[in-house]
Each structure stands twice: as structure tokens, then as C-alpha cells.
């Protein structure tokens, strides 16, 4: 990526924001465009700054990170929201991903892994901390037997193939290579799937795909 990745930090702990800011400033491909101390301020700053990636804490006073991510992904679909939290609760993880977050990281993550995760998020990839991967899979419930066929009929065979690949966390390039398609064709199919499901992120589609029997998820 030639242009710098524009990052907005949203966390109610000033020292933590300062630490992340200092970390990112040591890498030439990042630009911290702003900071916010709560969810409401984060929503406002995201709207005015139009960042590529929003690093968002989950539990904050006032407007929570969960409430904020719903608004941000709705109003600024180009922004990729990456949760960065201390919560290892499986329900928090599922709620955040279903709300539209592209990933979920724990604050004890290694610095080099955090930097890599932000880069991946900026590319539109899904990122979940290794510690949370098992909880992600356990949190997904199998559909009722009568649901799956009807759900599958909503999609073309090619769309079903791509949804299975999304459930495996594959990128558009990986999907294109495996299915022998142009990457631009994969992008069109992914956008069509988004429209049919009224969803805005690959993680949401991946969760849906696993829940309805399109594929088995794996950790990012």
C-alpha cells in the first residue's frame, strides 16, 4: 500500500492511546489522524476524519464500543473497525463481529502482531486474536435443519463457493486463485452477497456462512 494507513484511536485510557500512537509512528506506513476518549467522540471523529482503520475499545463510559461500531460501519462503510479490548468474553466477540467489526484483538497482543493486524484490516481482511479463535468457533451455533436448504437457495452456486471461502478467512486473491476467477469477479460476487444479506463486512458473512452450513471457520 503506497499511501499511509490513516488510523483513528478510540479508547478511554489516555496512556494506552499514547502508547499505541508512539508504536505506530515508528512505522512509516501509518498516520494516526486522531484520537477519541469515548464512543460518541469516536463516531464524530470518524465522520470528520474518514480514517482507513478505527482501533476501538469495547467497554467505555457513555457510548460503548459496540454501539459505536454499529454507527461507524453504517455511516462510513470504507472505514475498517478493529476492536482492541481486554475482554475475552465470547459473547462480546460475537456481538462485535456481528455489529460490523472486521476483527477483534486483545490488548495483550504482541506489538508486531498488532501492526500486522492493522495492515490486514486496512486491506479489508478479517483479524481475530489467536486466543479468541476457539471461542469464535464455539460461539457459532448450528442452524435448525429446516433452515439451511432455504438459505442456500438464496445464493447461486458460485456465491455459495465464495461464502464457503469467506468462512475460511480467505482473501479475494486467494479465492480467485482457488476458483480460477478474476479477482474483480470475486469482488463483484462478494458485493452481491453483502447486498443479499444486508451486511457490510466479510466477518459478518463468514459468521453467517458457518451458521448456515456453507463452510467451517478458521482463525485469522
Q: From CA 184, how far away is CA 34, in angstroms rounded? A: 33
pLDDT in tens, 65-97: 999 999 999 899 889 999 999 998 888 888 898
Q: Quote the pLDDT of residue 179.
A: 93
pTM (2 decimals)?
A: 0.69
Share of the chain above pLDDT 70, in %: 87
pLDDT in tens, 36-47: 999 999 999 999
Task: Kindly state the average pLDDT of the residues 182-191.
Answer: 92
Mean pLDDT of the chain: 85
> Do the Cβ atoms of 193 and 201 come closer than 8 Å?
no
Examine the pLDDT at 219 and tell me if it is beyond 60.
no
Residue 166 CA, distance from chain mean position: 12
Q: Quote the pLDDT of residue 154.
A: 85
Examine the pLDDT at 217 and tell me if it is beyond 50.
no
Examine the pLDDT at 23 and tell me if it is beyond 90.
yes
Share of the chain above pLDDT 90, in %: 52
Q: Quote the pLDDT of residue 144.
A: 45
> Do the Cβ atoms of 194 and 77 come closer than 8 Å?
no
Taking the CA atoms of 73, 189, 52 and 106 in sequence, report the sign of the dihedral they define: positive
* pLDDT category of residue 212 using cuts at 50, 70 and 90: confident
Examine the pLDDT at 170 and tell me if it is beyond 90.
no
pLDDT in tens, 110-160: 999 999 999 999 988 888 887 777 666 565 554 444 455 566 778 999 999
Amino acid at each position: 500500500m503506497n499511501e499511509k494507513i490513516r488510523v483513528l484511536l478510540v479508547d478511554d485510557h489516555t496512556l494506552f492511546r499514547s502508547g499505541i500512537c508512539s508504536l505506530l509512528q515508528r512505522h512509516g506506513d501509518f498516520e494516526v489522524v486522531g484520537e477519541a476518549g469515548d464512543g460518541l467522540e469516536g463516531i464524530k471523529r470518524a465522520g470528520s476524519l474518514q480514517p482507513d482503520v478505527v482501533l476501538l475499545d469495547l467497554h467505555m463510559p457513555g457510548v460503548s464500543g459496540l454501539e459505536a461500531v454499529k454507527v461507524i460501519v453504517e455511516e462510513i462503510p470504507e472505514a475498517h473497525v478493529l476492536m482492541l479490548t481486554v475482554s475475552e468474553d465470547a459473547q462480546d466477540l460475537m456481538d462485535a463481529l456481528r455489529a460490523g467489526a472486521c476483527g477483534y484483538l486483545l490488548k495483550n497482543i504482541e506489538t508486531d502482531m498488532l501492526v500486522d493486524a492493522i495492515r490486514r484490516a486496512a486491506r479489508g481482511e478479517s483479524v481475530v486474536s489467536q486466543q479468541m479463535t476457539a471461542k469464535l468457533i464455539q460461539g457459532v451455533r448450528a442452524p435448525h435443519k429446516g433452515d439451511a436448504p432455504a438459505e442456500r437457495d438464496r445464493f447461486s452456486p458460485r456465491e455459495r463457493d465464495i461464502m464457503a471461502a469467506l468462512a475460511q478467512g480467505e482473501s479475494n486473491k486467494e479465492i480467485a486463485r482457488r476458483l480460477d476467477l478474476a479477482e474483480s469477479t470475486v469482488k463483484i460476487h462478494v458485493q452481491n452477497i453483502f447486498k443479499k444479506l444486508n451486511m457490510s463486512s466479510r466477518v459478518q458473512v463468514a459468521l453467517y456462512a458457518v451458521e448456515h452450513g456453507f463452510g467451517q471457520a478458521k482463525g485469522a
